[in-house]
Amino acid sequence: MEKYFDINYLWTALPQLVPFLWITLFVAALSVIFGTLLGLIIAVFKLSKNRFLQLLANSYITIMRCTPSIVLLFLVYYGIPAFADSFFGIYLQDVHTGVFVVITFSLQFAAMMAEVIRSAYLAIDKGQYEAAVSVGLTPFQAYRRIIFPQAVVVALPNFGNGLISVLQEGALAYTIGFIDIVGKANLIIANNYNTHALEIYIALAVFYWVLSVVIAKIFELLEKAFSKGQRSLKTS
Amino acid sequence: MNSSFINMEFLIDTFFVALSGVPIALLVTVVALAIALPIGFFLALTRINEIPILNGFTKVYVSFVRGTPIIIQIFVLYSILPLVLASIFERYNIDFPIYEVNTLWYAFIIFSFNTAAILVEVFRSALKTVNAGQLEAAYSVGLTTAQAYRRIIIPQMLVSAMPNLCTATINLIKATSLGYAISLQEITLKAKVAANVGYNYLEAYIDIFIVYLILCITVEYLFKVFEKRLSRYKAVATA
């Protein structure tokens, strides 16, 4: 009788999955870059005095927070080509699925980042800017040299959390046929005639677990390194 | 404009199909929360009080749940649970049709497993906001530990836990959309199945999107109302 659980499948799956880890990471990295840029714009909208822009930013954040990743993924995957086709007559059915994955998770990451950037900006005392301008810096210099470095330190832990979350949500990309690490794992399982799925899934879990722990650790160290010069009041 | 962009009739019909999945999604959410809240709170206490073994176990458990995507947790648990249960039942000669169990039970277990770990961190950070002097003061006026927690610590803790509890609940509702992986008849799966007939996936997902939006905004509103009611304890908490 065959064993239900055979650890050998796990060991053979690991090397097969490693090349696809880079695809997962690459997609996450692109989403983080585009998402941060979009998030910056939304944060600026939210901080602006214009009521309409504020409403726009708030609605965007609420909608993104309330939509499951898988729903957003499919909305982007089916919606963008259909929209482009019927309104502009552009044919997008051949676009690589990876593009839709990156669009989806950029949109999602942007909503997270908008809040992170906003709270980081608000955490910096207004006196910092005034002091910088009063010693003769231009507003741009003041932002670049005084506000930005301080805001980055404040934003760092939340940015790390967002990064881990976008990496994990990315695990759903396989649902639209994108072959990343999860997609490859499902292919391996299909090759085994749908047996020994558990071993492969455990291998996947290990990959994600290690990645998340490493990223969390890196951000912890970064935070420690950057807040070296900080002299804030120690509470407790 | 091409009129075939959206099939309006299908969009409206399927909206009610998607809506019919709401009770299941909410049931899973409520049951998972009901199971996860006490477990999460108890494990948070073991972390705070640094109880040996349990503290370490909780650390690993929380790290695993936070470190892996929910879909992977569903995959792993959904394949491991029948194996484990079957071998237990076999050992004790219990005749139980393990492979015919309603998938709803798996959903309860999987989402409780996930949410409990998230709540450990929520409660841990909330408990830390309560001043240690509160417990000492409660003891000094003669309350037992259980009384002190029930009447002094928990009401104060809940105030600061509320926003994170709201996020956890929203995330749980969103996570039930992954129930398709265990063929749970919830919002996403129902609408998707309806779309399979005529390939109206876009319309189906627009419906699903709207249903979740309504659901989450309602939950968020309810939490806000509840938070306002709770904040009468706040004056004590920050004093």
- pLDDT at residue number B130: 87
User: In Å, how far from its chain's centre is CA B34?
Assistant: 9
User: What value does the mean pLDDT take over residues B214-239?
Assistant: 79
* Mean of the per-residue pLDDT values of chain B: 87
The pLDDT-based confidence of B1 (bands split at 50, 70, 90) is very low
Note whether A114 and A122 are within 8 A (CB). Answer: no
Residues of B in contact with A79 (CB under 8 A): 202, 205-206
Nearest Cα residue to A126 out of A141, A142, A115: A142
pLDDT of residue A210: 93
Whether B119 and B41 have beta carbons less than 8 Å apart is answered as yes
Q: A233 pLDDT band (50/70/90 cuts)?
A: low
Is the Cα dihedral B203, B208, B214, B217 positive or negative?
negative
B209 contacts on A by Cβ (under 8 Å): 67, 71-72, 75
CB contact under 8 A, B63 and A87: no
Residue pLDDT, tens place only, B43-71: 999 998 888 899 999 999 999 999 999 99
pLDDT, position A64: 93
DSSP reduced 3-state for B179: helix
* CA–CA min distance A50, chain B (Å): 24
Is the pLDDT at B115 greater than 80, yes or no?
yes
- Average confidence (pLDDT) over B129-147: 89
Per-residue confidence band for B117, with pLDDT thresholds at 50, 70 and 90? very high
d(CA A119, CA A153): 12
Q: What mean pLDDT do residues A164-173 have?
A: 91
Please answer whether residues B72 and A204 qualify as being in contact, where contact means their C-beta atoms are separated by less than 8 angstroms. Answer: yes
Does this model's pTM top 0.80? My answer is yes
Q: State the CB neighbour count (10 A cutoff) for residue B132.
A: 8
Residues of chain A found within 8 Å of residue B4, distances taken between Cβ atoms: 86
Residue B2 has pLDDT above 50, yes or no: no
| Minimum distance, in Å, between the CA of residue A126 and any CA atom of chain B | 26
Q: Is the pLDDT of residue A230 over 90?
A: no
Q: What's the one-letter identity of residue A82?
A: A
Helices (H), chain B: 8-19, 22-48, 54-67, 70-91, 103-129, 132-140, 145-148, 154-175, 187-196, 201-230, 234-238
Q: Please indicate if any CB of chain A lies within 8 Å of the CB of B93.
A: no
Interface test with A, best of B28, B79, B171, B176 (most A CBs within 10 A): B79
pLDDT of residue A11: 80
Residue B36: which of B122, B144, B112 has the closest Cα? Answer: B112
Tell me the pLDDT band of B190, cut-offs 50, 70 and 90: confident
Boundaries of domain holding B138: 3-238
- Interatomic CA distance for residues A135 and A124, integer angstroms: 18
Tell me the pLDDT band of B237, cut-offs 50, 70 and 90.
Answer: very low
Higher pLDDT, B120 or A7: B120
Which pLDDT belongs to residue B234? 61
Q: What is the DSSP string of A137-177?
A: --HHHIIIIIIHHHHHHHHHHHHHHHHHHHHHHGGGGGGGT
Is A205 in Cβ contact with B64 (below 8 Å)? Answer: yes
Q: Where are the alpha helices (DSSP H) in A48-68?
A: 51-66
- What share of chain A in percent tops pLDDT 70? 94
CATH value at residue B20: 1.10.3720.10
Question: Which one is predicted more confidently, B9 or A102?
Answer: A102
CB environment A3-24: b (16+ within 10 A), e (fewer): eeeeeebbeebeeebeebeebb
B208 close contact with A: CB closer than 8 A = yes
Confidence at residue B233, expressed as pLDDT on a 0 to 100 scale: 64
CB contact under 8 A, B205 and A198: no
Q: Tell me the C-alpha distance between A121 and A44, whole Å.
A: 10
Using CB atoms, which residue from B69, B202, B213 is nearest to A208? B69
Q: What confidence tens digit (pLDDT) does each residue in B87-96 have?
A: 888 888 777 7
Which pair of structure tokens corresponds to residue A117? Answer: 């950037």
What is the average pLDDT value for chain A, to the nearest integer? 87
**Residues whose CB is less than 8 angstroms from the CB of residue A22 and which lie 6 or more positions away in sequence, other chains included:** none
What digits encode the pLDDT tens for the residues A46-81? 999 999 999 999 999 999 999 999 999 999 998 888
Residue B166 has pLDDT above 60, yes or no: yes
Whether residue A86 and residue B4 make contact (CB cut-off 8 A), yes or no, is: yes
Chain B residue with minimum CA distance to A173: B71
Cβ neighbour number for residue A200 with a 10 Å cutoff: 27
Q: How far apart are CA B58 and CA B46, in angstroms?
A: 8
Torsion of CA B213, B218, B221, B225, to 10 degrees: -170
* Residue B217 CA to its chain's centroid (Å): 16
Q: Report how many domains make up chain B.
A: 1
The pair of structure tokens assigned to A69 is: 């990743």
pLDDT reading at A161 higher than 60: yes
| Token pair in block for residue B239 | 């004093």
| CB contact (8 A) between residue A198 and residue B217 | no
- Burial zone of B168 (CB within 10 Å; 0-12 exposed, 13-18 middle, 19+ buried): buried
DSSP H or E run through A125: none
Of B4, B72, B188, the CB nearest to A205: B72
- Which two tokens mark B113? 């497993």
Contact A127, A53 (CB under 8 A): no
ipTM: 0.85
Stretch A174-180: mean pLDDT: 88
Q: Which amino acid is at B56?
A: G
Nearest to B71 among A65, A171, A211 (CB): A171
Domains, chain A, ranges and CATH?
A: 7-228 (1.10.3720.10)
Instruction: Tell if the CB–CB gap between B76 and A172 is shorter than 8 Å.
Output: no
Length of chain A: 236
The angle formed by the CA atoms of residues A202, A206 and A210, to the nearest 5 degrees, is 170
A88-136 pLDDT tens trace:
877 777 788 889 999 999 999 999 999 999 999 998 888 898 999 999 9
Q: So what's the pLDDT on residue A16?
A: 83
- In this predicted structure, the answer to whether residue A8 has a pLDDT above a threshold of 80 is no
Which of B5-14, B57-66, B199-208 is the least confident region?
B5-14
pLDDT band, very low/low/confident/very high, at B239 (cuts 50, 70, 90): very low
